[in-house]
Amino acid sequence: MSQPGDPRDPEALRKGLEEWERQTLAPALEREGERLPAFETQALHWPVERLYTPLDLEAAGFDYLKDVGFPGQFPYTRGTRPNGYRSQLWAMKQVTGFGTPEEWAKRAQYMLDQGLSGFFIEYDLPTTNGFDSDHPLAAGEVGRAGVAVDTLADMEAALDFDFSKLRHLTSVCNGPQPVNLAMIIAALEKKGVDPASFTLQMPNAILIEYTCVGRYIFPPEHGLRISTDVIEYTIRNHPNWVPISVISAQLYAARANPVQELAFGFSIAMQYLDAVLARGFTIDEVAPYFSFVTGVDMDFFEAVGKLRAYRKVWARLMKDRYGAKTREALELRITASPGTMSLTLQQPLNNITRLAIQMLACALGGGGYTMTTPLHDEAHALPSDEAIAVGAGVQKIVAHESGVADTIDPLAGSYYVEVMTKRIEDAVFAEIEKIDRMGGALAAIRTGYFQRELAREQCERNRALDTGKRKLVGVNDVERRSDEESLEIFRVDPESERRQIERLRAVKARRDEAKVAEALERVREAAEGDENLVPPILEAVKLYASQGEICDVLREAFGTYMPDSLTTGV
């Protein structure tokens, strides 16, 4: 006989729930009321019910085998790894990068010595915008937000660390990604490092930059073409590398809610998939090369639901829309990291706590292959050595001390988590359909749809903080403090900029100008035709053509992009 609460008997359950509401809950509510007039999730503003039971799963049309299944099996809700984190933990990475190439190489070695198996290289703004360090717009930015790489000489210096411990390297240089790829290939060749000894991951999903971030150079359709060149070249020449990584974390950082993040990110990914398929690959050949990077916010259950839905939506898109058949195509490759956008400038040590909670959500949501931690003082300035060590500690504590990595997908079956996962999944499919009707991601960028949606979310979130509807500890729960925080702020040596420019001039002075000019001419011919851009760029890079020079040739061929008032979202 079934008891109240037995999910096999919804009637008994309904009866039990009614009894609880009447006999137990009602008197308590009478006495104590509730803290808030309404409870809602942080980013999606979905109502949060008082209690979730199997009845909610029933109402959502939940079917265990169809919606959850088993680890390593379609639809991968419980993770893509058949044995979760019991065989291998996630790879631990951190985002960092600053200063001159030599300073970066030292920092990279330090991170490897801290036990991190890989990291992101972030470049400075001139580099990611395709300008050399001596360009007028570069003034004051050289080596500040990341490492400065003008020529192959810089990349050789930046990669001057011990590769034997390195498993993953993510090189974040969206705008001029073909130039960046060429520099890495050429530098590895000179160092004698086997390119197959580690995985190079490139974001190379420039379309995201038009919706937020803004490190675009060329009009979007040309951005799409150069990204596609990088994907095609990498698949054919470095089959163990990951030539496209849709950093939906950037959308999240621009305040996309989880549904927007997944729908916009997947729509952008599909724009690339279609472009690569048009070059003669099959879906099962190319899908495994696509990877994603996400960030999670402070709403723990939205975060976990998002990560679980992420894998499901990808698997279903690949299977139903593209007819993918192999496991490698259906499995989502994702890096999940705590989000820098929830870090606060005020009371910065609290950011360590935020990172720990978010890291826990990443681990429980099944971040997939790798996870990264930002650093607790990232809201302030670039990370100090101490902050890097603390960031690494957060990952290790979650991995080794919390026990969450010891059983597979331990939150599965939570009524709330399963309802959240399914609701996010359904809403993402609805939003993807909406974007399809607009003509896909490129069209949604051209008309400013993504940008305006994000601007609206940004203003709403800000309003929620201003009015105190959303609490942020140290920000809107206390009287504002003066800016006298005792935090150690990392500052870039101003001499770096001068030295970097000198180095660029020295490199240019000793190269063969005639050969450089010839090589740049070949880049131009490729850009004006439809030949893959990577081989001629690689030749130019080997002759020490600077990335600014190569990008200038591409600017002449493609034009540059400046959004109008509609497409800025402002």
Partner 1 sequence: MNAAAVSERPIRVLLAKLGLDAHTIGVTVIARALRDAGMEVIYSGLKQTPEMVAATAIQEDVDVVGLSSLSAAHMQHFPRVVELLREQGADDKLVIAGGVIPAEDAQRLRDAGVAAIFTMGTSTDEIVAFLRQWAASR
Nearest-Å Rg of the Cα atoms of the chain is 25
Among 489, 506, 517, 566, binds partner 1 (CB under 8 A): 489
CA 5 to chain centre: 40
Shortest distance, CB of residue 500 to partner 1, whole angstroms? Answer: 15
Kindly tell me the sign of the dihedral angle through the C-alpha atoms of 497, 183, 561, 256: negative
Q: Considering the complex, what minimum distance in angstroms separates the CB of residue 466 from partner 1?
A: 4
Does 205 participate in binding partner 1 (rule CB under 8 A)?
Answer: no
383: which DSSP letter? Answer: P
Please say which residue, 199 or 496, places its beta carbon nearer to partner 1: 496
Q: Which 3 state secondary structure label does DSSP give 229?
A: helix
CB-based contacts of 57, cutoff 8 Å, min separation 6: 7, 415, 418, 419
- Measured from the CB of residue 376, what is the shortest distance to partner 1 in angstroms? 15
Minimum gap (Å) between residue 265 Cβ and partner 1: 18
DSSP labels, 231-253: HHHHHHH-TTSB-EEEEHHHHHH
Looking at beta carbons only, is 48 or 379 nearer to partner 1? 379
Footprint of partner 1 on 102-141 (CB under 8 A): 125-126, 129, 131, 136-141
Rounded to the nearest angstrom, the gap between the alpha carbon of residue 375 and the centroid of all alpha carbons in its chain is 15
Binding flag, residue 345, partner 1 (CB under 8 A): yes
Instruction: Give per-residue burial for 286-300: e unless 16+ CB within 10 Å, then b.
Output: bbbbbbbbbbbbbbb
Question: Of 255, 236, 249, 161, whose CA–CA distance to 205 is shortest?
Answer: 249
Decide: is 570 part of the binding site for partner 1 (CB under 8 A).
yes
Instruction: Determine, following the binding rule CB under 8 A, whether residue 169 of this chain makes contact with partner 1.
Output: no
Among 484, 486, 510, 514, binds partner 1 (CB under 8 A): 484
User: Is residue 483 at the binding interface for partner 1, with CB under 8 A as the rule?
Assistant: yes
Asked if residue 566 binds partner 1 (CB under 8 A), the reply is no
* Candidate list 5, 214, 239, 403; residue touching partner 1; CB under 8 A: 214
Our CB check for partner 1 shows the closer of 3 and 467 to be 467
Burial category of 170 from C-beta neighbours within 10 Å (exposed 0-12, middle 13-18, buried 19 and up): buried
Gap between the terminal Cα atoms of the chain: 62
User: In angstroms, rounded to a whole number, what is the distance separating the alpha carbons of residues 496 and 103?
Assistant: 9
534 Cβ contact partners less than 8 Å away, ≥ 6 residues apart:
178, 181, 182, 229, 230, 233
Contact call for residue 506 and partner 1 (CB under 8 A) = no
Answer yes or no: are the C-beta atoms of 157 and 102 closer than 8 Å: yes
Give the one residue of 43, 212, 303, 359 binding partner 1; rule: CB under 8 A.
212
Cβ neighbors of 458 (< 8 A, separation 6 or more) are 254, 255
Query: Which of 129/335 has CB closer to partner 1?
Result: 129
Residue 2 contacts partner 1 per CB under 8 A = no
Give me the 447-476 binding string for partner 1, x by CB under 8 A, dash otherwise. --------x--xx--x--xx--------xx
Rounded to a whole number of angstroms, the minimum distance from the CB of residue 6 to partner 1 is 49
Nearer to partner 1, 201 or 451 (CB): 451
Question: What is the closest distance, in whole angstroms, from the C-beta atom of residue 495 to partner 1 in the complex?
Answer: 15
> What three-state secondary structure class fits 118?
strand
Q: Which is nearer to partner 1, 125 or 424 (CB)?
A: 125
Q: Which stretch binds partner 1 (CB under 8 A): 37-45, 83-91, 285-293, 559-567?
A: 559-567
Site for partner 1 in 507-546 (CB under 8 A): none
Nearer to partner 1, 35 or 480 (CB): 480
Q: Which of 508, 551, 450 is nearest to 152 (CA)?
A: 508
Binding status of residue 379 toward partner 1 by CB under 8 A: yes
Give bridge partners of residue 172 from the DSSP assignment. Answer: 122
**Where are any strands of DSSP class E within 114-173?**
118-122, 168-172
> Which parts of this chain interact with partner 1 (CB under 8 A)?
125-126, 129, 131, 136-141, 144-145, 212-215, 254-255, 344-346, 379-381, 455, 458-459, 462, 465-466, 475-476, 480, 483-484, 489, 492, 562-563, 565, 568-570
